[in-house]
Every structure is written in structure tokens, then in C-alpha cells.
A and B are shown apart, each in its own frame.
Chain A
Amino acid sequence: MNKFVKIAAATAIAMSGATAVMAQDEGLYIPNLSYRTGPFASTGIPLMNGQRDYVAMLNARDGGLNGVHLEFDECETGYSTEKGVECYEATKDQAIVTQPWSTGITLQVLPRTNVDEIPILAPGYGFSAMGDGSVFQWGFNMPSSYWDGASMILNEISGGDLSSLAGQKIAFLHLDHPYGKEPLPFLEAMAEANGFELLPIPVGLSEMQNQASQWLQIRRERPDYVVMWGWGAMNAGAISEAVKTGYPMDQFVGVWWSGHDADLAAVGADGTGYRSISWSAPQPDAPVMAAVREHVFEAGNSLASEEELNSVFYQRGLVISMILTEGIAAAQDHFGSATIDAAQLRWGLENVNITDERLAELGMSGMVAPFATSCSDHTGHSGGWMLRWDGDSFEVDSDHLSPDSETIRALEVSAAAEYAAANAPWPTASCE
């Protein structure tokens, strides 16, 4: 019976708000809803490590940010929405930001942030419509949204002239999940406007590792290009099937979450030519990498392995934390105080301005393209680069690419308005 008593006692403590033990006396509490377990862990781990190590580096090198310690913490979700919401509830009292890390969790948390007044930072994921800052006042998905990604891919494969795609067939291989469906409205609009045929091919969550049917369909339909929106175990599955089917790798392009070194490592040289659009690029020689190595990795405080350090995803994790800390710094500067609260951070994230000079100061030149956010634009539309797999690692393979901002903006505004109408009364801000 002793066990029951203990459980009961612990439950009672939990009921009366044991979250108080998580209270942070000093420092800024920035939790991350990580997923180091579950079917998507393979993509999650290097990203989480990068995010963690960047903050650890700032704490070790500069003692935090403008003199205030950054309290980075992970709450494991395993990519499950249920755990995610639990983590959100557990952390929201002290947290100044929520990093939900899954479209499903974002979906559930987004409506609550208006009430709880905590900014959501979802760099390169979440909803594309979050770019409309007047409607999604607390949501941020800079530097690029999925619609940006889809637009950049189309721009690159068409050589800059979308009308040249007329009459061609583009297969859209995607996870059958809110994340995978996200770019569909944009691609459909583009297909209609430019006269190419769009062939959506869904991959079910349980079929991620066994995509024979999907690739047989690709073999039958012979599309001119395959665009992939894959995640976790789906990427490796798709790439090995593509190799097997003999689909030309240079006509196969993935989103930034489908450009993970480990996914390509399995096929090695057979995957040469596969490309992935990305708003971040690995720069092994960047000064920030030296700092991370010195203060975190060599000090034995990193969870990452040596080969992981130069991977696309690890370095993207660094950029993600950099975007957050730049937002914090902007708020600290504006409000003249080292400790800030969630509402002040919202202002900071709305006024992030990453220029080439700033990137050079941070030692991150070339790791992300310059961008700026504003009250009405929460995406920044930084653009990005094509990364090409050369059989061994990803290399930047294009000039800086820009999305088709005007079309996307119009779509963002209408999708955001639709969301606001469905959730009326939904508060909107006027961005004058």
C-alpha cells in the first residue's frame, strides 16, 4: 500500500501546483518542447542539440545575454500532441516563449497563446499563415514559411520562369499529416496559374518505412519532378525507394526537413544529386562553430557527436536559438532591462533585424540569409539556398533564392482571415 500513498501524495502535490518547483529565480526561462524519442527522433535530436548548444555557448562565453543567464530547458514530447500540451501547461507560467516543434502541437497551442500571452516561435514550421502578424499576434515562423519553401523550389526548378513549367507534371510526395498538407494550397494555386499538373501523393504515418506503392505510382506517372515534404523516418524511406526505382536524383527536391545528413548517409553515393531547399546552410568554418566547440563541445557539455557538428540540422539548431536570442536582445534593448517578460519578448521577436553585419558579428555569416520581421510580417521571408547531396555531405548549390513574396502575402492574408473568422471572436492588431 505504501506505493499508493506515495503516488497519492505526489498527485496531491501536483494538483496544488507543483509547477512552482520549476520556478526560475534568476535568468530567462526558455523551454523547448523537444522530441528525442519516438518515430521522428532521428530528425529531432541534432536540431535539439544545436539549439541547446548555442544557448550553452552564450552562457559559458558571455555569461548569458546582456548579463542575464539563459535558462534553457527541454520538455520531452516524443512528437505527441498530448505530451506537448502537457509540456506547454507545465512551462507556461515561467516561460517567456514556447517552441512547440510540431505542427500538431502548434495547432493546439496557438489559440491559447492569445489568452496566455506567450509568443510561439516556430522557425520554418508551424502555419504559413502565421506570417500575417496582425492576425497571429503571438505566432512567429521566421525566417521562412512552408509556402516560401515551395515557392523557392518552383523558382529553382523552373529556372526562375514559372511559365516554363506549363504542361509538366510535378509529384508532391508528402506526409499525410497537417505538416505535409501545409504547402498544398500554394502549390495548387501555382499549378492553376502556370498550367503544370500537380500530383499529390500522400504517405501515411504507418507507411513511412514502406513506400513501395508511392514510388510505383511515381514510376507509372513519370512526373518531371518530385517535391517531397517528409519528416523523420519518411525521408530515408523515400530516398532509398527513389534510388531503387531509378528516379533521376536531380529531379528530386525536398523541403528543409528532408535534408538531413543521416537520411542520405544510408544511400551514400547513390543519392548524389538530391537537393533540399534550406533557409540555413552549414558553415563548418564559421567563428560561431569554433566558439561552440571551445565552450561547449570540448568542455564535455554537448550531447552531440563529433560528426554531427557539421551536419545541416545541428547548425540549423544553432540558427534557431540565435533567432530567439536576437529577439530577446532586441527586447532587452528596447525596454532597457535585462530581464524581460513574455509580452516584451513578443515585441522583440517582431523587431528582429538580422543583417549581414549582424551575422558577421555573431560569427554566423552565411548560415542564414538576412531578414527582418515587423508587426505585420512575422515570417521575414529570408529566402534560402538549394543544398545538394554530393554523396558525402550537403553543399550549397545555388545562389540565394527568394520566394514569390507577393503571391504568398496574398495567400497568407486570406488564410489568416479565414482562421480568424472560424475562431471568432479573434483579436487582431492594426499594424500602423
Chain B
Amino acid sequence: MLYRTAGQFKTSYKKDQALFPVRQDATLLALILGLAWIVFPFMASEFAFQTLLIPVLVYSLAALGLNILTGFAGQLSLGTGAFMGVGAYACYKMITIFPEMNLIVAVLLSGFFSSIVGVAFGLPSLRIKGFYLAIATLAAQFFLVWMFEKVGWLYNYSNTGAIQVPNIDMFGVAVAGPLASSVTKYYFVLFIVTVVTVVMINLTRGTQGRIWKATRDMDIAAELIGINLLKSKLTAFAVSSYVVGVSGALFVFLWRGAAEPNLFDISLSFRVLFIAIIGGLGSIMGNFLGAILIVALPVVLNILPELFGIEIASATVEHLNIMIIGSLIIFFLIIEPHGLARLWALIREKLIIWPFPH
């Protein structure tokens, strides 16, 4: 009923390939954007901004970056955390060297640095495949974090070896640092995430996206039909690391406010990988669904016992949390290995033909 497609005719091939072949999809998206841009900022508490809204956006972007590489181009990466770190440190260095720099420019530029590093560690992908490729990204993961510890220049030789986000103004409004309000930070992140997502949707729908998918499905076959594997894989590494780098800069500058090197350790990489897989590899929307699940779940689980007035020690709640998250990951993998995005697609199919399933 809600999703009735009757009466929506496609008269050309172009229309059939449009971004929103069904009108209701566009309406739904407009609704979600409306929520994100207008409703949430007015409703949310400080706690919600800091532990739900901003992290969901940042993690979605990181997972989107990883998904370009793993979901679209089929190259497994376990080094996302370190590439986020490259973006964060690049942004930090630019801001401290040029304090007058516009933060949007700095954030968008920092992606290029992680892009370069990503391509360097992506080179072995031409020879190494499958799980063996994971070692290249793992080497990046551990080596880069070690660099963040050892190279004093990166953290401006501060006593603690950590980086601290200074107060940054943009057109007279504090956007980052301790003085910035959560709403401004949220809008800043939302703006960047929206822009990058729109670009990525179009990129993956176009020629480049098809080249990547061909490479993913079978690289030798792709080579035979004239795809340049070197270019295809390396562009995937470059674009993916760019997005991941931008998310890393947002992660530190607009959310955490300070970072020590081991913030970017392998558990961050796994977290992002979880989001991408639970959300659905090869899907853009999945990243957002996955991030909502993985970020919100622990927060909600922490609040639940208090909501129901159950007295449990905080440590026990944490243990149960870890167990529940582990089980849920297995549960979701079993019910739908292709992720939440696929689950939504199935629901949508059902809705379109409802209430007459045949």
C-alpha cells in the first residue's frame, strides 16, 4: 500500500536506471534527511549528540570508505584504523602549521594524505590476493600506529605524545575544540558526510563503480574484458583511503577532541569492518544502518538495566554487553550474511507487492 508502484511508468532506459526508480524511495530519503537536518538537532540532548549522532555519522563515513575497497572492489582491508589516523594527523599538522586554514578545506585535504599512504600499501594487491592481502593492510596498521608513537613531529613534540584539537573558528563560529557546541559539530559532520556520500553514490553507479565490481567478481575475467587491474585496484585504494582519511579527521576534530596513537589501533579497524559487514558489503546505505546498530547498541544496552530499574554492577553490564554484541554479530551473519541493507531490500520488495503477494 505504502509502497505501491502502480502508475509509475518508465518510458525510457534512462528512467529505469534512475537513482530513485520508485517515487516512495525518494520520499523516504527526504524524510530521513529532514530528520537528520532539522528534527534531531532540536530534539537531541548533549549526551545523544556525543554518543549517538556524531559517532554514527563518523563511523558511517569510515565504513563507507572501507566498503568502496572491500565491498565494491573486493580487496580486504584490516588497516582502516591506521588510515583514519593518517587523516587525523594530517589534519592536525595542517591546522597547527596554518592556523588560519578553513577547517572544511583542511578536513577535505587531509583525505589526500591518507590516499597517498593507502595507494602505497595497496600496491601489493596486484600480486597478493584474498586473506593474504590482509597482511599488507595489517602491516600498514601496525607500522603506522608505531610511527604515530615515534615521530615527534607528528604530535608537535607534546609531552604526552597525544594530539589535542585547538579551538577553531569558522566565520566567527567555533566549530571545533572545547568551545564549540555539539550542534555546530553535528552540522559540520553532517554536511561533510552528506557531500561525500552523494559523490560516492554517483561514483559507484558510474563507470568506475562498474569497473570495481568487475574486479571484485573476478579479476582475471575483468582483465580479459579490457579492464586495467592496476588502475582499478589502485583507484579503489585511493578513493577508499581518501574517504577513510576524511572520516579520521572528523573522528578526532569534531568528535573526540584529542587522540593518542593507540586510539587508531586494530580494534578500531575491526569496529569499522563490523559496521561494513553487518550493514552490507557493496551497499552505501548499509554503512549507515550498520553504524546505527554497532554504535547505538552498547549505549542502549547500558541504559536498559536502569530503565527497568534492575541493579547490576557496571562491570557486569559491560561483560554482558560484550557477550550480547558478539552474539548479535553471529545472529545477524546467520539470518542475513549480506547485511542489513539486504534485509531492507527484502522488506521493501515485500512492501511493494503487499497486500497481494502473488
Chain A residues at the B interface, C-beta cutoff of 8 Å? 7, 10-11, 13-19, 21-22, 34, 36-37, 73-76, 78, 81, 83, 85-86, 89-90, 93, 103-104, 107-108, 111-112, 114-115, 127, 129, 176-178, 181-182, 184-185, 202, 204-205, 303, 415, 419, 422-425
A-B contact pairs, 16 of them (CB 8 A): A15-B44, A34-B314, A34-B315, A76-B314, A76-B315, A81-B260, A86-B302, A93-B46, A111-B165, A111-B258, A115-B179, A129-B159, A422-B96, A422-B156, A423-B164, A423-B166
- Cα distance A416–B178 when bound, in Å? 17
Across-interface contacts of B50 in A (CB, < 8 A): 85-86, 89
Q: Are B159 and A185 in contact (CB under 8 A)?
A: yes
Across-interface contacts of A81 in B (CB, < 8 A): 256, 260, 263
- Cα distance A73–B161 when bound, in Å? 31
B192 within 8 A of A: no
Q: For the complex of A and B, list the 9 residue pairs with the smallest distance between their C-beta atoms, beginning with the closest.
A: A111-B178, A36-B315, A17-B45, A178-B160, A76-B318, A76-B314, A74-B314, A10-B300, A89-B50
Cβ of B187 to closest chain A Cβ, rounded Å = 17
- Cα distance A74–B146 when bound, in Å? 33
A422-B306 in contact given A14-B299, A205-B262 (Cβ < 8 Å): no
Cβ of B148 to closest chain A Cβ, rounded Å = 11
A14 interface neighbour in B156, B166, B178, B303, Cβ under 8 Å? B303
CB proximity to A under 8 Å, residues B67-119: 96
- Cα distance A177–B256 when bound, in Å? 17
Across-interface contacts of A78 in B (CB, < 8 A): 318
B337 within 8 A of A: no
B2 within 8 A of A: no
Contact with A along B40-51 (1 / 0, CB 8 A): 100111111011
- Cα distance A74–B316 when bound, in Å? 11
B123 within 8 A of A: no
B296 within 8 A of A: yes
A423-B160 in contact given A76-B315, A86-B51, A112-B257 (Cβ < 8 Å): no
Chain A residue with Cβ nearest B293:
A7
- Cα distance A205–B264 when bound, in Å? 13
Q: Are A127 and B160 in contact (CB under 8 A)?
A: yes
Q: Are B307 and A18 in contact (CB under 8 A)?
A: yes
Q: Which of A22, A176, A303 has the most CB of B within 10 A?
A: A176
A423 interface neighbour in B178, B319, B322, Cβ under 8 Å? B178
Across-interface contacts of B302 in A (CB, < 8 A): 86, 90
CB proximity to A under 8 Å, residues B8-56: 40, 43-48, 50-52
Q: Are A114 and B48 in contact (CB under 8 A)?
A: no
Interface of A is mostly: helix
Across-interface contacts of A177 in B (CB, < 8 A): 161, 260, 262
B6 within 8 A of A: no
Across-interface contacts of B307 in A (CB, < 8 A): 10, 13, 18, 21
Beyond A11-B300, A93-B47, A422-B96, 6 extra complex contacts between A and B, CB < 8 Å: A21-B306, A21-B307, A86-B299, A89-B47, A111-B257, A177-B262
Across-interface contacts of B258 in A (CB, < 8 A): 107-108, 111
Q: Are B159 and A74 in contact (CB under 8 A)?
A: no
B177 within 8 A of A: yes
Q: Are A22 and B306 in contact (CB under 8 A)?
A: yes
Cβ of A191 to closest chain B Cβ, rounded Å = 16
- Cα distance A90–B302 when bound, in Å? 10
Q: Which of B167, B258, B263, B306 has the most CB of A within 10 A?
A: B258
Chain A residue with Cβ nearest B262:
A205
Across-interface contacts of B203 in A (CB, < 8 A): none
Cβ of B101 to closest chain A Cβ, rounded Å = 16
Across-interface contacts of B48 in A (CB, < 8 A): 14-17
Across-interface contacts of B306 in A (CB, < 8 A): 21-22
Q: Are B47 and A423 in contact (CB under 8 A)?
A: no
A178 interface neighbour in B162, B265, B317, Cβ under 8 Å? B162
Across-interface contacts of A17 in B (CB, < 8 A): 45, 47-48
B149 within 8 A of A: yes
A424-B166 in contact given A16-B45, A22-B306, A37-B318 (Cβ < 8 Å): yes
Chain B residue with Cβ nearest A75:
B314
Across-interface contacts of A36 in B (CB, < 8 A): 314-315, 318
Across-interface contacts of A204 in B (CB, < 8 A): 146
Interface of B is mostly: helix
Across-interface contacts of A185 in B (CB, < 8 A): 159
Cβ of B351 to closest chain A Cβ, rounded Å = 13
Cβ of B243 to closest chain A Cβ, rounded Å = 21
Across-interface contacts of B52 in A (CB, < 8 A): 11, 14-15
Cβ of A107 to closest chain B Cβ, rounded Å = 5
B128 within 8 A of A: no
Contact with A along B152-195 (1 / 0, CB 8 A): 00001011111011110000000001110000000000000000
A178-B315 in contact given A14-B303, A107-B162, A423-B178 (Cβ < 8 Å): no
A425-B167 in contact given A10-B307, A81-B256 (Cβ < 8 Å): yes
Across-interface contacts of B156 in A (CB, < 8 A): 422
Across-interface contacts of B162 in A (CB, < 8 A): 104, 107, 178
CB proximity to A under 8 Å, residues B225-284: 256-258, 260, 262-263, 265
Chain A residue with Cβ nearest B322:
A37
A89 interface neighbour in B40, B51, B256, B262, Cβ under 8 Å? B51
Cβ of B299 to closest chain A Cβ, rounded Å = 6
B159 interface neighbour in A18, A22, A111, A184, Cβ under 8 Å? A184
Chain B residue with Cβ nearest A127:
B160
A15 interface neighbour in B45, B158, B315, Cβ under 8 Å? B45
A107-B164 in contact given A22-B306, A89-B50, A205-B262 (Cβ < 8 Å): yes
Q: Are B164 and A422 in contact (CB under 8 A)?
A: yes
Cβ of B222 to closest chain A Cβ, rounded Å = 38
B135 within 8 A of A: no
Across-interface contacts of A22 in B (CB, < 8 A): 306
Q: Are B167 and A423 in contact (CB under 8 A)?
A: yes
Q: Are B319 and A37 in contact (CB under 8 A)?
A: yes
Q: Are A422 and B166 in contact (CB under 8 A)?
A: yes
B126 within 8 A of A: no
B199 within 8 A of A: no
Q: Are B297 and A7 in contact (CB under 8 A)?
A: yes
B313 within 8 A of A: yes
B260 interface neighbour in A10, A178, A422, Cβ under 8 Å? A178
A181-B164 in contact given A17-B45, A81-B263, A115-B179 (Cβ < 8 Å): no
Cβ of A201 to closest chain B Cβ, rounded Å = 14
- Cα distance A425–B258 when bound, in Å? 16
Across-interface contacts of B44 in A (CB, < 8 A): 15
- Cα distance A11–B307 when bound, in Å? 12
